[in-house]
Amino acid sequence: MKAYVFPGQGAQFSGMGKDLYDNSDIAREMFEKANEVLGFDITKIMFEGTDEELKQTKVTQPAIFLHSTILAATLGDSFQPDMVAGHSLGELSALVANKTLSFEDGLRLVSKRALAMQAACEAEPSTMAAILGLDDEVVEKACEEVDGVVVAANYNCPGQLVISGAYPAVEAACEKLTEAGARRALILPVGGAFHSPLMEPARAELAAAIEATTFNTPSCPVYQNVVAAAVTDPEEIQKNLVAQLTAPVRWTQTMHAMIADGAEEVIEVGPGKVLQGLFKKVDRKFPTSSAELEA
């Protein structure tokens, strides 16, 4: 069985998607439609922009979503997923790829998500930190023992868990986890505390947009971040997507579930190879590859 996975924020690079635009009529049409939906020329920033321009909130998330969903659309008949999943933002790309959402609706939700998250970040100084080399349970316990808001946010792979919360609480947790033997406890250069209770204003704002959007029956199961299990019911998909902003990304658990349910190979659709690397941490011999535009 083929599993297609879609990356999240951080995989952007200048020039992303240009090869698709130049070599595919389908891609060109979708990029032009994206400019229209967003109301600005995102393709110009993706193809020619600086790293700083690509880091703008209104650009980063839509850019990664566009690269992933447009690449999937250009794969033609070879794109026959048995299951899909996406890391954080990538879940919206996965939901377009398995036909739960239309391309335009997915893009509108991504744009709203980015702006709502930015507003929540500005409301309270907050951050995230990567904790390497400890069991998940040790990290969870340390977060519970620290005063203030700090939670396990991204279960990326065994031995790699990102925590998220208010600055002082994250710093205190990092100290505690270093003492507990973490190989690294590194504050990340991010705008705020994603996948934590501090994203509640964004969750509430996005919930209204998600509930007003049509969710179709998917062409194959999506393994959602919140439950780390296969979901096919459109209402349940909708509910889990709303919960995603304040709940942890259970990617380690998702990888195990996909493999347990019969995934025999993983194809990453979008910029970078981060998710392939995470699958290799679960099983070094597991077959992974990157989706490529058909000649």
Q: By percentage, how much of the chain surpasses pLDDT 70?
A: 99
Q: Report residue 124: phi and psi, to 5°.
A: -150, 130
For residue 268, give the nearest of 257, 284, 280, 282 by alpha carbon: 280
Please tell me which of 74-78, 118-122, 249-253 the model is most confident about, judged by mean pLDDT: 249-253
186: exposed, middle or buried (C-beta count within 10 Å: 0-12, 13-18, 19+)?
A: middle
Residue pointed to by tokens 């710093």 = 171
Q: H helices within the chain, ranges in order?
A: 18-23, 25-38, 42-48, 51-54, 57-74, 90-97, 103-123, 136-145, 167-179, 200-211, 234-243, 251-260, 274-282
Interstrand relation of 126-132 and 184-187 (parallel, antiparallel or unpaired): antiparallel
| 88 among known catalytic residues | yes
Give dist(CA 280, CA 286) in Å, integer: 6
* Dihedral (Cα; 84, 90, 95, 96), 10-degree rounding: -110
pTM of the predicted model as reported, rounded to 2 decimal places: 0.95
Provide CATH 3.40.366.10 ranges for the chain: 2-122+197-290
Domain 125-187 has CATH 3.40.50.1370: no
| pLDDT tens, residue by residue, 160-194 | 999 999 999 999 999 999 999 999 999 998 888 99
Give dist(CA 257, CA 238) in Å, integer: 20
Q: Residue 114 in contact with residue 129, Cβ under 8 Å? A: no
**From 67, 93, 164, 195, the catalytic residue:** 195
Give dist(CA 45, CA 21) in Å, integer: 13
CATH fit for domain 2-122+197-290, picks 2.60.40.10, 3.40.366.10, 2.40.50.90, 1.10.10.10? 3.40.366.10
265-268 sheet: strands from edge to edge: 230-231, 222-223, 83-86, 2-6, 265-268, 288-290
pLDDT tops 90 at residue 237: yes
pLDDT tops 70 at residue 279: yes
**From 68, 88, 111, 164, the catalytic residue:** 88
Provide CATH 3.30.70.250 ranges for the chain: 125-187
Structure tokens at 174: 């990092």
In whole numbers, what is the pLDDT of the chain averaged over residues? 95
| 111 among known catalytic residues | no
| pLDDT tens, residue by residue, 43-94 | 999 999 998 899 888 899 999 999 999 999 999 889 999 999 999 999 999 9
